[in-house]
Homo-oligomer: A and B are copies of this chain.
């Protein structure tokens, strides 16, 4: 679109804040999701990418985001474009992906953030605390990769159902809040015999539907509480509604779905929740098989990396010196090394990490300078974590298309032309 079709402030705003990408969705806002009926919700949850996702406007609850940096798959599934990822570790809120299993609650829940209430159960002294009280109980800041367990599903040849995310259902975010440890200590400790930490989201559930069939409630192993925080701030600003504000459970190293948004209840339990999203959803089950308790739940993330630049979407690359750069992370462990290949994995060269090391749960930016003559290349990268775990060549096939960290699936063809 020509800039002359926009107001001056809009021009300046877009020009000043954004990569210069044409976008058909600038300024357009779709109808909100509030008040959706049951079937509409089911539809919204099921909807996935169309042939031209870029044509879809941003839903109103994220109208403040950078439309030029995002691919809207559906109202609740919005992916960051590969070309939008910068080289500065942090993913700005305006560019961060969104994956909502249910429509976001009404914005009124963050009109008075400090009044938000969290119910804590399964501790020696159960209590309901206001955010204002939590803010006085402790403060910790952690940088962590937030990634949807389905990130990379779009790279499965089997095309599992669900959003066909490529690499953009992930970001690296700085979170601030109170450590769950501090909260538990103040309440006398975890009650005896508890095995899981269970978080419940504050989404408004539709009438006339079994809550368990749709509620966002997840259980993780008790040990996860050691590094978990209840966060009210993201990247230095109050946690946006779209990302779980006013309060979100952050479990560093665990897949996105476990990081409960607008958390209203934190319970320590002897069993995993009976909610469908835990019982059957987000399970690593064999292709064609519905998930159940016998299949591993999507919890800890694995070692992974991908190249952000150059990429086919940015067009032909002029021959000569080129910087290959991307991101790498280890999930539960620090990433230690990244290798890059320009011949589809036949040979590898060690890449260099750049920028600050923000801790073992953050990703690192890597770069490798190469000289490329005109021709076609298959570029790939492969990360190794501090435990020696190497990003595998092959994906682990599963019905849901989860946890794809195959370096081969993430390889890309680029075309280098005479400069």
Contacts and interface: CB of A to CB of B under 8 A. Distances in A.
A93 interface: yes
A8 B140 CA distance: 33
A18 B325 CA distance: 32
B141 A355 contact: yes
A334 to B, nearest CB: 13
Interface of A is mostly: mixed
A358 B90 CA distance: 12
Contacts of A241: 12, 15-16
A88 B136 contact: no
A9 B90 contact: no
Nearest to A367: B139
Contact of A235 (B20, B90, B175): B90
Interface string A55-77: 00000111110100000000000
A136 B236 contact: no
Contacts of A108: 15
A60 B6 CA distance: 14
A95 B235 CA distance: 11
Nearest to A11: B107
Given A16-B241, A112-B20, A241-B15, A235 B176 contact: no
Nearest to A318: B136
A371 B3 CA distance: 56
A92 interface: yes
Contacts of A325: 139
B107 A234 contact: no
Contacts of A313: none
27 contacts: A8-B60, A12-B63, A12-B107, A15-B110, A16-B61, A16-B245, A17-B238, A19-B238, A20-B111, A20-B113, A20-B238, A86-B176, A88-B175, A88-B234, A88-B235, A89-B141, A90-B235, A90-B236, A92-B93, A92-B235, A92-B236, A95-B237, A141-B365, A143-B355, A143-B356, A176-B355, A358-B358
A171 B100 CA distance: 32
B174 A355 contact: yes
A66 B64 CA distance: 12
A68 to B, nearest CB: 10
Interface in A94-109: 94-95, 107-108
A262 to B, nearest CB: 12
A175 B13 CA distance: 20
Contact of A323 (B17, B92, B136): B136
A23 interface: no
Interface of A: 3, 8-9, 11-13, 15-20, 29, 32, 60-64, 66, 85-95, 107-108, 110-113, 135-143, 174-176, 233-238, 240-242, 245, 320-323, 325, 354-359, 362, 365, 367, 369
Contact of A107 (B15, B135, B367): B15
A333 to B, nearest CB: 17
- Most B Cβ at <10 Å: residue of A88, A112, A139, A143: A88
B355 A356 contact: no
Given A86-B238, A139-B323, A356-B356, 6 more contacts: A12-B63, A15-B108, A19-B237, A86-B233, A86-B237, A90-B174
Contacts of A94: 237
Nearest to A87: B176
B18 A88 contact: no
A174 B89 contact: yes
A57 to B, nearest CB: 11
Residue from A17, A20, A85 having most chain B Cβ neighbours under 10 A: A17
A12 B356 contact: no
Given A64-B16, A89-B236, A356 B141 contact: yes
